[in-house]
Amino acid sequence: MSALEPDDPHSVGAYRLLSRLGVGGMGRVFLGRSPGGRLVAVKVVHAELVRRPEFRDRFRREVQAARLVSGAFTAPVIDADPDAPLPWLVTSYIAGPSLEQAVVERGPFEAGAVLALAAGLAEALVSIHAVNLVHRDLKPSNVLLAEDGPRVIDFGIVRSVEADSITGTGLVAGSPGFMSPEQVNGDAITPASDVFCLGAVLAFAATGANPFGEGPTPALLYRVVHNTPDIGTVTDPALHALIGDCLAKDPARRPTPQEILARVGALGDESTMALRHLGPRSRQGNAPGSPTPAGTPFPGARATDPGAPTNVLPRDAGPGPLPQQATTVAPRFHDRATRVGAAPEPDPAATGPTGRRAGRERGGSRRAFLFLGVGGGAVAAAGVGAGFWLNRSAAADRDRATPPSSASPSSSPSASAPRPARPLGHWPLDETSGTVARDTVGGHHGTATGVTWGPGGGGAVFDGRGGQIVTGGPVLETGKGRSFTVAAWVRLSTAPENWATAVSQDAEDASAFYLQYAVEGNRWAFSRPGQRAVGRSEPAVNVWTHLVGVCAGQARTLRLYVNGVQEAETEDTAPMSATGPFVIGRASYGGQAVDFFPGAVRDVRVFDRALTADRIKKLG
């Protein structure tokens, strides 16, 4: 999820748009709010599609057909306007991460959970097929894991089996690796095609990998048509047989969704939808990780220093309030808030090569950054950690390994031995004099310039004009596919008049990341150039605050924690490799030192992995 871009509409029909959920081949998808306060997903069709002959008529027919779909495991279409300059449709907003995110960030699910997933998705297909529709794009990113079961979303290329396809001649609808052989070959598409896609989705959930491997699209499509799927690691006999039958090359040999429900139902209660949420059980009250009502102090918040005044920074006039970010979906929209802290946070290691960010855009000025505003945008639809309904044994979570940074992208998440969450670098900043800031773990000592030392190990004190601590070289690898965590205690001595960065690492002509104060909105943020995960709590002067920024490389997300509570998440769309030194007290842009921090920083730690929420709480 990200903030609205300059060319994005602020409203569509009667729906106010709050933020971007994503972009697909059919159009842009936004989080919106209905006039009555309901959160919805709004899809606006790409302009180039509207220019195609007969598009509107076909879009109208498909919207009418999709509106007929009802069922516990689908996201129904609730509104649409095929005659708008850019046609749009509105579906129910589902609070929960996608299956793709859940698997990438936490590994494959156990057999019982995958069988339960099969039941929910099969029932969704029954609802879709009952109105003569074929989804044609069932894949892990189109399955959301809500608290009460999975939901099939994105009817962007769904078609009526009685009508022409919305795609033109010679165009293939679907996603490579999650397409049926008949889709690849351009043959007749029947409901059996969705069953093949379901088999690929279940294989992904059970193994963490596509059953037809990875690689260029032509190679994937060839394997879909000609190769036997790789499901040898699925050891549960019932699940193995089910996936294998769904992936039969001959559509006539695949089970129907009704037959899948009968098979899964016969396996007993373990495969029903009444499964425990993934992760620890819900806490009562406002324990760390639970929803925090407005006006309630955040869990873990530190008292102000003795004798120091506490000044809450004034809130800028700006966008109206958005749904509370990350910790809750506003209770007035849902009977029960969705806790992002309900499950351990993802912990993938880096598996992809580092890469330089192409086309770095920071805008015309430093204030040109888009930000999520007061409260950001509801992240639950695209973020991880919402209370998953799928269960996974405690032993499976405990034993799941994190792949080393040298592993290939196709390595299994459970192929290596687990690594302890030890810091790559730790700067206590408890010096009392001198110009050396010691790294007590990795030996990446920093040189302090324009810095004074607080009494009694009170941290490094920066004047906000030129103070900085700079290491002799790079510390973190921050490029494409790389996961890392940055944590620091910070205290503002005055209300900044501009951006103020506590921790960063230099790249070629800008910082690769920023743990910072964002002047627009008066919020803490964890950022990359051009994108920000902006928190919702208001920074205060003379108050020690614990900030943690997490980059989950494989999932391409940035998350911000404030005093142990996740406050924001955004998509990491353009990761940048940090080739320069690690810096405390400022950032860089255009080859210049900028964003000097006015205040104190202490206990800075960095990790070469995405820490879990529980581990982050222990850092504070």
Summarised one tens digit per residue, pLDDT across range 17-36 is 999 988 776 788 999 999 98
Q: Is 335 a catalytic residue?
A: no
Give tens-digit pLDDT for 505-551. 999 889 999 999 998 889 999 999 888 999 998 898 999 999 999 99
Which band of pLDDT confidence, cut at 50, 70 and 90, is reported for residue 266?
low
- 437-456: pLDDT as tens digits: 999 998 999 999 999 999 87
pLDDT at 174: 54
Q: Residue 155: is its pLDDT beyond 90?
A: no
Q: State residue 1's pLDDT score.
A: 67
* Residue range 579-597: mean pLDDT, rounded: 93
pLDDT at 306: 33
Answer whether residue 146 shows pLDDT above 70.
Answer: yes
The beta strands (E) that lie in 130-211 are given as: 133-134, 143-146, 149-152, 159-160
> Do 262 and 529 touch, CB atoms closer than 8 A?
no
Percent of the chain with pLDDT strictly greater than 70: 71
Q: How far apart are CA 285 and CA 292, in angstroms?
A: 9
Q: Where are the alpha helices (DSSP H) in 95-163?
A: 99-106, 111-129
The per-residue pLDDT for range 184-219, each reduced to its tens digit, is: 998 889 999 999 999 999 999 999 999 999 888 888
Give the SS3 label for residue 461.
Answer: strand
Handedness of CA 167, 31, 569, 279 (dihedral sign): negative
Mean pLDDT of the chain: 75
- Tell me how far the alpha carbon of residue 125 is from its chain's centroid: 26
Q: What is the pLDDT of residue 95?
A: 80
Q: Is the pLDDT of residue 265 over 50?
A: yes
Range in 184-193, 272-281, 414-423, 590-599 the model is least confident about: 272-281
Task: Please report which confidence band the pLDDT of residue 584 belongs to, taking 50, 70 and 90 as the band edges.
Answer: very high
Is residue 118 a contact partner of residue 135, using CB atoms and an 8 Å limit? Answer: no
CB 598 within 8 Å of CB 441? no
**Single-letter amino acid, residue 262:** A
Instruction: Report whether pLDDT(348) > 70.
Output: no
43 is in an annotated binding site: yes
Answer whether residue 238 shows pLDDT above 90: yes
Which residue among 8, 57, 137, 509 is the active-site one? 137
Question: Is the separation of the CB atoms in 196 and 185 below 8 Å?
Answer: no
Residues 139-146, mean pLDDT to the nearest whole number: 90
Q: Which residue has the higher pLDDT, 134 or 71?
A: 134
pLDDT band per the 50, 70, 90 thresholds, residue 346: very low
Q: What's the rounded mean pLDDT across residues 470-492?
A: 94
Crossing angle for the helix pair 237-246 and 191-207, nearest 10 degrees? 140
**pTM score, two decimals?**
0.47
Residue 267 above 80 pLDDT? no
Q: Is the dihedral of CA 305, 513, 369, 299 positive or negative?
A: negative
The whole-number pLDDT of residue 300 equals 29
Inform me whether the pLDDT recorded for 352 exceeds 70: no
Higher pLDDT residue, 375 or 113? Answer: 113
